[in-house]
Amino acid sequence: MTKKRTADSGAGSSVTSGAAAKAASKLEKIAKISRRLAALHVPDLDHVPELKQSAAVAEYLDRASHATLSKVTGGVSPTALGGAYLDWLVHLSTSPGKQVELTQKAFRKWLRLSRYAMRCATSDSDTAPCLEPLEQDKRFAGDAWQKWPYNLIYQSFLLNQQWWHNATTGVRGVTKQHENALEFTSRQVLDMFSPSNYLLTNPEALAKTREEGGQNLIRGFNAWLEDMEHARLDAPVAGIEAYRPGQEVATTPGKVVFRNRLIELIQYEPTTEKVRPEPILMVPAWIMKYYILDLSPENSLVRFLLSQGYTVFMVSWHNPDAEDRNLGMDDYRQMGVMEAIDAINTIIPGEKIHGVGYCLGGTLLSIAAATIARDDGDPFASLSFFASQIDFTEPGELQLFINESQLAFLEDMMWEQGYLDINQMTGAFQTIRSADLIWSKVLHSYLMGEPANMFDLMAWNADGTRMPFRMHSEYLRSLYLDNDLTEGHFKVDGRPISVTDIHVPVFSVGTVKDHVAPWHSVYKMHLYLDTELTFVLTSGGHNAGIVSEPGHRHRSYQVATTRHDDHYVDPETWAANTPVKDGSWWLEWSDWLGERSGVPGPPPVLANALADAPGTYVFEK
SS (H, E, C) 2-31: HHHHHHHHHHHHHHHHHHHHHHHHHHHHHH
DSSP state of 618: G
Task: Spell out a b/e string for 141-175, using b for 16 or more CB atoms within 10 Å of the CB, else e.
Answer: eeeebbeeebbbbbbbbbbebebbebbbeebeebe
* Residue 412: predicted pLDDT: 84
Whether the CB-CB separation of 492 and 363 falls below 8 Å is answered with no
Residue among 287, 283, 273 nearest 353 (CA): 283
- Which sign, positive or negative, has the C-alpha torsion 268, 270, 271, 276? positive
How many whole angstroms separate alpha carbon 177 and alpha carbon 186? 14
10-residue mean pLDDT series, the chain (621 residues): 39 44 57 48 48 70 79 78 93 96 96 92 77 87 91 95 96 93 89 93 95 94 87 77 94 97 97 97 94 97 98 97 94 97 96 97 98 94 98 81 82 82 62 62 88 88 89 91 94 96 97 93 96 97 95 94 94 97 97 97 89 96 87
Whether the CB-CB separation of 506 and 531 falls below 8 Å is answered with yes
Task: Spell out a b/e string for 214-226, using b for 16 or more CB atoms within 10 Å of the CB, else e.
Answer: eebbebbeebeee
* Residue 69: predicted pLDDT: 79
Classified as helix, coil or strand, 379 is: coil
Whether the CB-CB separation of 261 and 475 falls below 8 Å is answered with no
Determine whether 130 is an active site residue.
no
User: For the chain, which domains are there?
Assistant: 74-193 (no CATH), 254-398+468-619 (3.40.50.1820)
Whether the CB-CB separation of 407 and 481 falls below 8 Å is answered with yes
- pTM of the entire predicted model: 0.84
CA 592 to chain centre: 29
* Residue 618: predicted pLDDT: 97
| One-letter amino acid of 597 | S
How many whole angstroms separate alpha carbon 190 and alpha carbon 224? 22
How many whole angstroms separate alpha carbon 553 and alpha carbon 471? 39
* Residue 383: predicted pLDDT: 98
Half-sphere exposure of 146 (CA within 13 A, CB side): 11
Neighbours of 314 (CB within 10 A): 30
> Per the residue annotation, which of 158, 306, 359, 360 is the catalytic one?
359
Whether the CB-CB separation of 74 and 425 falls below 8 Å is answered with no
* Helices and strands, number each (H, E), in the chain: 23, 15
Neighbours of 297 (CB within 10 A): 11
